């Protein structure tokens, strides 16, 4: 989430394996995307954007979207929250969320639907407990892209899907004997974006 991560207090073998899998898949995914961009030829259109809703939660973020054809694009989102607030309240995390999109009219204009993946590592909590873990999953989305000028656009997107969470739950004050390993299945909102976009050509 541009990229960094909160250092876990207790590292588990399962979490290390998951992290390695996520990093491997993200790396291969990036190579695949770069390959597709290279074979598209000249005048490749690219959109750089940032999600204002993430900034409202003090989460710096950025994404890039590449056109594969007149109706198909790929967005690569990264976000990172490193902050600790008053009374040791925090939820430090990094997140990556690639999304393949289909545009009903043409790329970067009007309605679109998408399929996205997400992977994250997180540590923190706002009450008496701390959570140290990972998540991975997928979802679907819908959005609309407004053209404001030749280069500046505005985009609204919402999405829902699934995520699997693995984490250690512990008291705010570290205590190895008090750590409980848990997992959770989540179904619900997986994307909410009001993005400011800048369009240019490579």
The CATH number of the domain holding residue 40 is 2.40.160.20
* Mean pLDDT value across residues 44-48: 86
Beta-sheet strands, E only, within 44-179: 45-51, 61-67, 72-81, 90-103, 110-125, 129-147, 152-171
Residue 1 lies in a domain: no
| 169 phi/psi in degrees, rounded to 5 | -105, 135
Task: Reply yes or no on whether the pLDDT at 15 is more than 90.
Answer: no
**What pLDDT, in 10s, does the model give residues 96-154?**
999 999 999 999 999 999 999 999 999 988 787 888 999 999 999 999 999 999 899 99
- pLDDT confidence bin for 10, thresholds 50/70/90: very low
Q: pLDDT-derived band of residue 173, with 50, 70 and 90 as boundaries?
A: confident
Query: Average per-residue pLDDT in the chain?
Result: 83
Note whether residue 69 is domain-resident: yes
pLDDT at 7: 36
Per the domain annotation, does 20 fall within a domain?
yes
Quick check: is 177 in a domain? yes
Instruction: Evaluate whether residue 77 is within a structural domain.
Output: yes
**pTM, full prediction:** 0.76
Q: Kindly state whether residue 193 falls inside one of the protein's structural domains.
A: yes
Establish if 48 belongs to a structural domain: yes
Number of structural domains (the chain) is 1
Structural domain for 188, as ranges? 13-201
6 occurs within a structural domain: no
Spatial contact of 101 and 113, defined as CB atoms under 8 Å apart: yes
């Amino acid at each position: 989430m541009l990229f960094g991560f909160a250092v876990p207090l207790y590292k588990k073998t399962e979490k290390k394996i998951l992290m390695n899998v996520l990093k491997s898949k993200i790396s291969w995914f990036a190579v695949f995307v770069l390959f597709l961009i290279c074979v598209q030829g000249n005048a490749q259109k690219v959109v750089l954007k940032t999600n204002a809703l993430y900034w409202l939660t003090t989460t710096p973020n950025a994404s890039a979207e590449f056109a594969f054809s007149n109706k198909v694009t790929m967005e690569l989102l990264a976000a990172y929250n490193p902050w600790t607030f008053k009374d040791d309240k925090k939820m430090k995390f990094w997140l990556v969320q690639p999304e393949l999109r289909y545009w009903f009219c043409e790329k970067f204009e009007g309605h679109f639907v998408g399929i996205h993946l997400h992977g994250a590592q997180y540590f923190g909590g706002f009450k008496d407990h701390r959570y140290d873990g990972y998540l991975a999953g997928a979802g679907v989305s819908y959005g609309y892209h407004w053209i404001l000028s030749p280069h500046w656009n505005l985009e609204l997107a919402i999405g829902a899907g699934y995520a699997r969470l693995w984490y250690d739950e512990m008291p705010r004050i570290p205590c190895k004997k008090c750590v409980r390993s848990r997992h959770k299945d989540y179904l619900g909102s997986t994307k909410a974006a009001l993005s400011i976009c800048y369009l240019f050509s490579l």
